[in-house]
Structure 1
Amino acid sequence: MDLDDFEALYTAAQTRALDSCAINDHQIPGITLMSRAAEAAFDCLIGTWAQPECVQVLCGTGNNGGDGYLVADLAHKRGIKTTVLQLGDADKIGGDALLAREQALANGVEVIPFDDAAVLPIGVVVDALLGTGLGGDVRGDYAEAIAEINAAGTPVLAVDIPSGLCADTGRVLGTAVRADLTVTFIGLKRGLFALQAPDYTGELQFAGLGVPAQVYRQVPADCFRLQLEPLLDAMPPRPATAHKGLYGTVLVIGGDYGMAGAAALAAEAALRCGAGLVRVATRPQHVAALVARTPEIMPVGVESGADLQPLLDSADTLVVGPGLGQSPWSEYLLQAALASGKPMVLDADGLNLLAAGKVQPRPRMIVTPHPGEAARLLGVSTAEVQADRFAATSALQQKLGGVVVLKGNGSLIASEKEMLLSDYGNPGMASGGMGDVLSGVIGALLAQGQEPLAAAALGVCLHGAAADIAAEEGMRGLVATDLMPWLRELLG
């Protein structure tokens, strides 16, 4: 997989390093970068809202506030009625931000302390309060200002990042501005694509500010935002002589009493994503129902690990966990699957059995937990996982090895050396069976010869993109089987 095909994502510290490198190593003055940031933000403001009735810019005391002062200066020069509401002690403003403030004041921009004014429900509001340096929850006047911005009901442009949103995790730090448009600079912040961020960023625009490519080589990224097209391009076309033996046999292991549907979904997804053959090892009572639903699937009733062995011998890839349950039967099958050494996607109850210590992990598995399963595997709370999904994904990978997929808003895929993010998908996917489909998709890609990281990356993007197409008819009521035709169409 060529990471150059994907957008680099940066932490706040890495973005500051990019900024510092541009200033110190490439002699781009900080005020020049600040001016370029203001111009980019103002161009987006005008491009989106033309000539608004007025512009209200809320500025903090740091460089984010400096950007805001220069946006205000540009709006004032454009003839738009412009007011800056200053938060924090203006005497503490220094460096380039002070230069920006002095320029705006010299050009006649009206500046009012926040304590003496209020955010009016007119025009466009520009959020230049806090930027990426926020270390704890928003408090005091800043929290009050954010509340006023959100209550005003006017369009909001956030400069670099909505104030109160963590640039590293996408977590809301107490409260955050709900922007309609966010213009971010120099480096894409990884928190803009994770967890709660999509509810706060609105439309996202990026401006590189003319930073030389050498800067990005000097400060390498360690996380990348995936795009579906390069991943699909890496799938080889099928030759005219193709036959099912070329595309692998997937064995889905699961479907304990009352949970046959999960195994059926995983198996059907594997078929729709190009596996040559798909077998299901399940409870004997479920065989007839599985055949009736999808006759192309070959289900076999198994009662023990010994019954499973012939199926394991003939499989290229295993998908273990959909509807597996946590009974002794479940444990026997999982133990046998792990002992086979076959490439494996482990999901659902397979993960719960692993977390409970019933089995031991083995290298080169692909595990696909949701946050609750990840919490059980790490021995922490779900809230702790969600507070920093990047750290949780890294911790899981270090603990289990192989490839980890942490599902959720901004799904993360990690190997020992790579961290990838997929922001495909939508809230309509919050329904039962979606994870079972994903495990089948990844299993099919493994069976067709994809390396584990590539299979996981393509599988997650494909799954989310299919859901995005299906959701065009409405998110409420979206179900896992709605993805099947779109999975096939996307793969081509």
Structure 2
Amino acid sequence: MSTVRAITAEAAARVDVHLMDPEKGGFKLEQLMELAGLSVAETAFQLVHERATVETGSRSGVVAVLCGPGNNGGDGLVAARHLTHFGLKPVVLVPKRVEREPFVGLMTQLRMLGVPSATLDDMDLILSDAVLVVDAVFGFSFKGQVRAPFDRVIKALKSHEHKTLSVDVPSGWDVEKGSTTADGFSPFALISLTAPKICSRQFKGRHFIGGRFVPLDEFNIDVPMYAGTQQSVEIANDSVV
């Protein structure tokens, strides 16, 4: 497949609604987060090992995972758990705590595994030390201006964009228009969930697709086929239309 069609935020929302309809998809939100987070973790694991080989031959394996208050952040928390089981050392940073499920349970799981939870005061040091940064702050439902404390987070991500993997949409981007400022944040890698969003047409870095749990034929989504047990697959950065 030479091209991959991008979808709108509205189309992405319709897929989620369908999947979580008891009579149609039968999924729970927690299941979708688990599957999405696993695909993010697989991609992050691959990138960490590539960077270790290319840059130094030996890295600490520390991965900074920045999580927002929405479902994108939940995907990041799940990814952090899997990265621990993959033998890496995730550190999670949740700028705005969420006191509802499934987030409370996800944070409990990470504490049980001994995954450190950093604060905004630790952010610059954590990002500097990390071999990879996972941006799971905002997803396809983000609209408007970035407000505190997330403006500080996006600014920090900009300084480390050369080693940042964004989840679904680079945080702060308009899901339809993309980056709206000339000097905006642009990560080196992106993992689109289910299918690329419209904004990814302007993305020029390494691009992965994750989320093989969606019935593609039903939604007329054309993404590359996953091989074997793959949870993510890389696509050409000029293939999104």
Structure 2 letter corresponding to 1:103: Q
* Inter-CA distance 61–46: structure 2 relative to 1 (3 Å threshold): same
Cα displacement (A) at 1:114: 2.0
CA positional deviation for 1:79: 2.9
* Cα distance change of structure 1 residues 32 and 209 upon mapping to structure 2, 3 Å threshold: farther
SS for the counterpart of 2:212 is: coil
Matches within 5 A, 1:87-98: 87-88=95-96, 90=97, 92-98=98-104
Distance 1:213 1:83, change over 3 A: same
Which structure has greater helix proportion?
1
Tell me the matched-pair count.
213
How far did residue 151 of structure 1 move? 1.5
Match of 1:64 among 65, 68, 72: 72
State the AA in 1 paired with 2:38.
E
Q: CA deviation at 1:207?
A: 1.6
Which residue of the partner structure matches residue 40 of structure 1? 39
State the Cα deviation string for residues 392-438 of structure 1 (Å, max 9, x = none). xxxxxxxxxxxxxxxxxxxxxxxxxxxxxxx57xxxxxxxxxxxxxx
What amino acid sits opposite 2:186 in the alignment?
R
Provide the rounded CA distance (Å) in 1 between the counterparts of 2:86 and 2:211.
Answer: 24
Offset, 1:116: 4.8
TM, length-normalised to structure 2: 0.77
Offset at 1:173?
Answer: 6.8
2:154 aligned to 123, 146, 155, which one? 146
Is 1:14 aligned with 2:14?
no
What's the C-alpha RMSD, in Å, of the aligned pairs? 2.9
Please tell me whether residue 105 in structure 1 is matched to residue 82 in structure 2: no
Instruction: Among all aligned residue pairs of Structure 1 and Structure 2, give the percentage whose two residues are the same amino acid.
Output: 24
When the two structures are superposed, what TM-score results if normalisation uses the length of structure 1? 0.40
Label 1:171 to 1:180 Cα distance change in 2 as closer, same or farther (>3 A): closer
CA distance in structure 1 between the partners assigned to 2:87 and 2:77 by the alignment: 16
Aligned to 1:182: 190
Q: 1:115 to 1:184 in 2, by over 3 A?
A: same
What are the within-5 Å matches in structure 2 for residues 257-268 of structure 1? Answer: none
For residues 100 and 32 of structure 1, the distance between their equivalents in structure 2, rounded to whole angstroms, comes to: 12
Residue 179 of structure 2 is matched in structure 1 by 171
List per-residue Cα deviations over 1:225-246 (Å, max 9, x = no partner).
Answer: 9xxxxxxxxxxxxxxxxxxxxx
Q: What's the CA shift string for 1:48-78, capped at 9, x where partnerless?
A: 2216521011111111111111111112223
| Counterpart position of 2:85 | 77
Corresponding position of 1:480: none
Unpaired runs of 5+ residues, structure 1, are 226-422, 425-460, 462-492
* Closer/same/farther in 2, CA of residues 6 and 80 from structure 1, 3 Å limit: closer
**Over alpha carbons, which structure has the higher Rg?**
1
5+ residue gaps in structure 2?
A: 53-58, 224-237
Alpha-carbon offset, residue 9 of structure 1 = 2.2
**What is the DSSP-based 3-state SS (H/G/I as helix, E as strand, rest coil) of the residue aligned with 1:121?**
helix
Deviation per CA, 1:2-58: give whole Å up to 9, x if none: xx9963321112101101211212112221221111111111122222165210111
Structure 1: how far apart are the matches of 2:110 and 2:182? 31
Matching of residues 402-481 of structure 1 within 5 Å: none
> The residue matched to 2:118 in structure 1 has which SS?
strand
Q: For residue 120 of structure 1, what is the aligned residue in structure 2?
A: 127
Check the 8 A contact 1:87/1:142 in 2, yes or no.
yes
Q: Which has the higher contact order (CA 8 A, sep 6+)?
A: 2
Q: How does 1:285-300 map to 2 (within 5 A)?
A: none
Task: Give 1:114's aligned amino acid.
Answer: L
Matches of 2:181 and 2:72, distance apart in 1: 17
Return closer, same or farther for 1:154/1:191 CA change in 2, 3 Å cut-off: closer
1: distance between equivalents of 2:77 and 2:117? 9
Within a 5 Å distance, the mapping from 1:298-313 to structure 2 comes to: none
Residues 173 and 154 (structure 1), Cα distance of their counterparts in 2 relative to 1, 3 Å cut: closer
Q: Corresponding residue for 1:207?
A: 210
Kindly indicate whether the alpha-carbon contact (under 8 Å) linking 1:58 and 1:85 is maintained by their aligned counterparts in 2. Answer: yes
The equivalent residue for 1:55 is 63
Per-residue deviation, residues 155-213 of structure 1 (Å, max 9, x unmatched): 111111110111122233797532111111113211110xxx325xx211112331123
Quote how far apart the aligned CAs of 1:106 are.
Answer: 2.7
Pair 1:26-2:22 in alignment: no
Could you tell me how far apart the structure 2 residues matched to 1:5 and 1:198 are?
17
CA distance 1:170–1:69, change in 2 (3 Å):
same
Is the partner of 2:20 in helix, strand or coil? Answer: helix
